[in-house]
Structure 1
Amino acid sequence: MTNKNADIELGLGLIGIGRTWGYKSSSIPEEQNSLDFLMKAFEMGINFFDTAPAYGLSEVRLGKFLKSLDTKQRNSVVVATKFGEFFDETTSSTYVDHSYKALCSSIDQSLERLGRIDILQLHKTNVEVLQSEALLDAVKYAKQKGINIIGASVSDVESGCIVCKNNTFSVIQIPYNMNFTSLEEILDLAKENNKFVISNRPFHMGEIMYKNNLDNSSDTIEEAFKFIIKKNFRGVILTGTKSPQHLQENLRGFQKAFED
């Protein structure tokens, strides 16, 4: 959902439909409920979906939803996924593998699930892997598979600096919100280097909402979005809800954040 007053859109992070996550973890929805939720989001105007192999059932469920769209609808949607972190179903935990073999295998699996990948991001980024031959070779493999937009999901300043200054990456994903500003300099550097920014965790994994008076939740949502959009970057803010009602509230708050 793009706001006409800024080059920022509201997107949907899909960890919540695949595994437990957040400030107050809750069970994942049934598959049909997830598919219904994705369709309602699409009907609300959400057309940016961010998933990952490490998000449990998320990629599989998103893929089933995408297959329900006609060609025109699918072409209106941006699907971003990741490689480098994986989900172990037997232990319900994640693990990291940045080897060339694992990265290529992840690409193949994600393509099988999703059909097409619009943005591919390195997951659990660190300085060592960013400078590795394995990653460069895996990026070449991704491009051979028709994936032309490469990014990285960053959680430390040093990695963020490398990504922002490296032409291999045109997208950077970072957490940024009123309770977490440690990567603000990376957000500024990304703007300077014309990177497309994916800003995640606008509510600090839900903590901002739960620690505020829920009677004023609409004001809290608006203020949380307003804090982020003041940075005036080119990109998307991801909300991680799995509830149609909460998504509608988030969309309303996102739109109101541009009114002042």
Structure 2
Amino acid sequence: MAFMRPLGNTGLTVSALGLGTVKIGRDKGVKYPNGFTIPDDRAVADLLARARDLGINLIDTAPAYGHSEARLGQLLHQRQDWVIVTKVGEEFDNDTGDSHFDFTPEHVQRSVERSLARLNTDYLDCVLVHSDGNDLEIIQHLGTLDALNALKQKGLIRTTGMSTKTVAGGIATLEKADVAMVTYNLAHDEEVPVIEHAARHGKGILIKKAFASGHLCHDGDDPVQQSLNRILGTDGVSSIIAGTINPRHLQENVSKARRACGE
């Protein structure tokens, strides 16, 4: 399978490895094994340029990632070269470090308009609901995906979906939207049925926590390569979102992802 892949039947093509950007906007309430310092503008600009040079075109952000959206809006050039994924539903307070959720259609509208302004763009390639774990409640009763799909009809969003936490939620998402983001790594394959459903129905799959947020452990020599091999060798997977602010890690991950894709 190639490094550049279709995002289901959306018409978008994405790199098999996407860049997650929580670490450029938020350092409170995160679950990484090691501490880090939020990089300055020059370092972020260099990281984005390096990612593009390496063939990455997919970038993942969210309102819950602190200042990430606003920084990307200032530093991300050649907008047309990027597929930008952002989210709705989870809000983060940079002062207190606390999160809260709001899945109402009214909040969806405000959140998308704010993301468009922060990201300095007139369209969003993909907007996902940032689930709190109550996937089916959100999908079936709160109207969150319906509100996103209405904004898609207006041309503000190209594709919609949800970052889910349950198999039932992932499948329900794919029945109403274009993309599901699911957890898949060497220690967690419970959500593979969602990926299989997507493969059968031409839907897009983005993978989160492929390296278990830095906690990946395995008996093999190179758990990152093993994880990439398994995930990118799974039919239906469009891209893995991997967050890093280290250019060397980024280059290593891209090299290993290309190897996993047979390049």
Q: TM-score range by the shorter chain?
A: 0.7 to 0.9
Q: Number of matched residues? A: 246
Aligned to 1:32: 42
Match of residue 100 from structure 1: 105
Q: Is the 8 A contact 1:11 1:238 kept in 2?
A: yes
How far did residue 236 of structure 1 move?
A: 1.0
For 1:138 and 1:187, the matched residues in 2 are separated by 22
Per the alignment, in what secondary structure is the counterpart of residue 131 of structure 1? helix
Structure 1 CA distance, aligned partners of 2:57 and 2:215? 26
CA deviations on 1:92-132 (whole Å, 9 max, x unpaired) are 12211011221111011000011131111111162112123
By how many angstroms is 1:234 displaced?
A: 4.6
Question: What corresponds to 2:254 in structure 1?
Answer: 251
The answer to whether 1:3 aligns with 2:6 is no
Give the letter aligned to residue 123 of structure 1.
Answer: H
The code of the aligned residue for 2:96 comes to: T
Find out whether 1:201 has 2:206 as its counterpart.
Answer: no
Match of 1:112 in 2: 117
Distance 2:165 2:218 in 1: 25
Secondary structure, counterpart of 2:212 in structure 1: coil
Q: 2 CA distance for matches of 1:193 and 1:157? A: 16
Runs of 4+ in 1 over 3 A off after TM superposition: 211-214
Cα distance, 1:170 vs. partner?
Answer: 0.7
Q: How far 1:195 moved relative to its partner?
A: 0.8
CA positional deviation for 1:233: 1.7
Q: What amino acid sits opposite 2:206 in the alignment?
A: I
Q: Is the 8 A contact 2:183 2:209 kept in 1?
A: yes
Match of 1:14?
21
CA contact (8 A) 1:80 1:119 kept: yes
| 1:137 shift after superposition | 3.4
Gaps of 5+ in 1: none
Which of 151, 157, 168 is the matching residue for 2:161? 151
- Any conservation in 2 of the 1:165–1:193 contact (CA below 8 Å)? no
Which stretch shifts more, 239-248 or 26-35?
A: 26-35
SS at match of 1:101: helix
Deviates more, 1:82-91 or 1:24-33: 24-33
**Residue segments in structure 2 that go unaligned for 5+ positions in a row:** 7-14
What are the equivalent positions in structure 2 for 1:37-116 lying under 5 Å apart?
Answer: 37-66=47-76, 69=77, 73-114=78-119, 115=121, 116=123
Q: Distance in 1 between matches of 2:98 and 2:166?
A: 22
Is the Cα–Cα contact under 8 Å of residues 222 and 253 in structure 1 kept in the other structure? yes
Shift of 1:140: 1.1
CA-atom RMSD, angstroms? 2.3
Shift of 1:232: 2.1
SS at match of 2:39: coil
- Contact residue 24 and residue 39 of structure 2 kept, 8 A: yes
Measured after TM superposition, the shift of residue 22 of structure 1 is 3.7
- 2-side partners of 1:255 and 1:221: how far apart? 13
Amino acid at match of 2:3: N
What does residue 122 of structure 1 align with? 129
Which residue identity is paired with 1:256?
R
SS of match in other structure, 2:229: helix
Letter in 1 for 2:215: E
Maintained 8 Å contact 1:19/1:27: no
Counterpart in 2 of 1:223? 226
TM-score (norm 1): 0.86
Following TM superposition, by how much is the alpha carbon of 1:28 offset from its aligned partner in structure 2, in angstroms? 2.1
**Could you state the TM-score of these two structures normalised by the residue count of structure 2?**
0.85
